[in-house]
Chain A
Amino acid sequence: MEELMATLKKEIFEQLNLQHVKPEDIAYDQPLFVEGLGLDSIDALELIVLLQQKYGIKLANPAEGPKIFYSIKTMAEYITAHKKQ
């Protein structure tokens, strides 16, 4: 899980071109949106593309988005659960 979260963090920073914050300043359980990394709705779409492109996971229920994309940790947990299926 630790390795996946580290990879995921790197991918998120690359995909979203996050230059205003350093990767080491973001904890795995820190919120990605609003008060955390400050991501917006376009970033949310990019994260959906990332899941699809890098992990072959299509978001079945968009309503689950806020829970899945809450933090790097919740994303990693979702990837782990859905890659096994």
Chain B
Amino acid sequence: MGTDKAISGYVQIKGGRVMYNNSLFFEMPDAEPVVFFNDIYKALNINYPKFFKMDNLCKVVFLAVEVLLKDVSLRDKYKPEETGIVFSNANSSLDTDIRYFQSSLEAPSPALFVYTLPNVAIGELCIRHGIKGETACFVFDIFDALFQAWYADTLLETCGIKACISGWADFYDGKFEAFFYLVETGSDNLSIKHNSENIDKLYNQVWKN
């Protein structure tokens, strides 16, 4: 397909830092995940009580995309069916699976049970941003820029999608990272062409900083 697709924004969360378009958005070194996440939430100045009910994987996904879309309203730019999501990670929902299993030894927690699937994170994004387009969730050993680019392209070219939130987020045993970008058809905000080389470059640049 000939439609130009460009990355109009990207965000990374790792090592106590939140980077937005390669600029520091928030920093809190050596903080516990719960403190770090709560303080990013406060820095965003939003009011979304459901955030506090989410598991850690959903929290890091939610916050990353909240930063990614802080200056963009998908609701204003696109119809609900015109935005899609491609999300991948390595540890699925294992962190919460284990916590749920531990809770089940005494009294199984319904609030934990609802987060024992990794694609629940996609659902949280859909609710928050009014997204009703195609979505997909994958589990890989490591971030695969080639696959991520190919799948997002496929959605954009064949599923009536005009924008796609694409990325990777992992949370397991207190360790976490997130990398998301927004790809839009005809976007010229950053003039970063949507291809695996550029995605790889963006993914790796912050980890090196």
Contact = CB atoms under 8 A, between A and B. Distances in A.
Interface of A: 16-21, 38, 42-43, 45-46, 49, 52-53
A49 B109 contact: yes
Interface of B: 38, 47, 49, 52-53, 106-111, 114
A21 B52 CA distance: 11
A22 to B, nearest CB: 13
A9 B129 CA distance: 32
A21 B107 CA distance: 26
Contact of A16 (B47, B106, B107, B111): B111
Contacts of A21: 49
Nearest to A20: B49
13 contacts: A17-B52, A17-B111, A19-B38, A19-B52, A20-B47, A21-B49, A38-B49, A42-B53, A43-B111, A49-B107, A49-B109, A49-B110, A52-B107
Given A20-B49, A46-B111, 7 more contacts: A16-B53, A20-B47, A42-B53, A42-B114, A43-B111, A45-B110, A53-B106
